[in-house]
A = this chain, B = another copy of it.
Amino acid sequence: MLSTHQLSPTSYLVLGLLARDGPSTPYGLKRQVAATLGHFWSFPHALLYAEPPRLVKLGLATEAHELDGRRRRTFTITQAGDDAVQEWLRRPSHDSTELRDPGLLQLYFADLGSTETPRIITREQLAIHRAKLKSYEDRARLHRRVRGAGEPAGQLEEWHGHSLRMGTLYERAAVAFWEEMAANAGDGAAAGSDGRRKEPSIA
């Protein structure tokens, strides 16, 4: 029982995947992530190659090299690793959500640009978020289709579903936000101080 207290989210991501899906190569991890959390929380592949060795050093996983051509490295979680996951799950995380939206950052400074800047940014962001929302919803449709087709949705798919659902809800919120911006941008939104701006409809 090392004081497994300074593990990063990345650590738990990898540990969790190893715990649930069994031994895996970094590439396998990468694929799992890409299909789920990766949609809104980026874990570049280099991270997933770098993290497992760290876990090995901490005794939370073990490594096996292939010797033939591909020299794949396969990682397996240890008992200590499993324990760490359990302990983590019992300790609710109070760290608050990071919402890093570059588009919003630009909007925040849009008044520094020209009068059209807010409109341009808004249009762009609206397009981006609408596209992403659509991709989530398509995926959800597919999901439901498959489930309707008989297979009684493995638990795993459920958890995939959760993260995608969260992504969907966020994108909906984002679309709503930018739509509201777009609606208010026609008037003097960038011109600001006349005060006559419509009250934001949100309470």
A63 at the interface (CB under 8 A from B): no
Protomer copies? 2
Q: Which residues of B contact A192 (CB under 8 A)?
A: 154-155, 158
Of the listed stretches A50-58, A64-72, A90-98, name the one at the interface; the rest are far from the partner chain: A90-98
A37 at the interface (CB under 8 A from B): yes
Residues of A in contact with B (beta carbons under 8 Å apart): 9, 12-13, 16, 19-21, 36-37, 40-42, 85-86, 88-90, 92-113, 117, 120-121, 124-125, 128, 132, 137, 140, 144, 151-163, 165-170, 172-174, 176-177, 180-181, 189, 192-195, 197-203
A-B contact pairs, 11 of them (CB 8 A): A20-B112, A41-B101, A93-B103, A93-B106, A97-B103, A109-B159, A144-B199, A151-B201, A155-B193, A156-B201, A169-B177
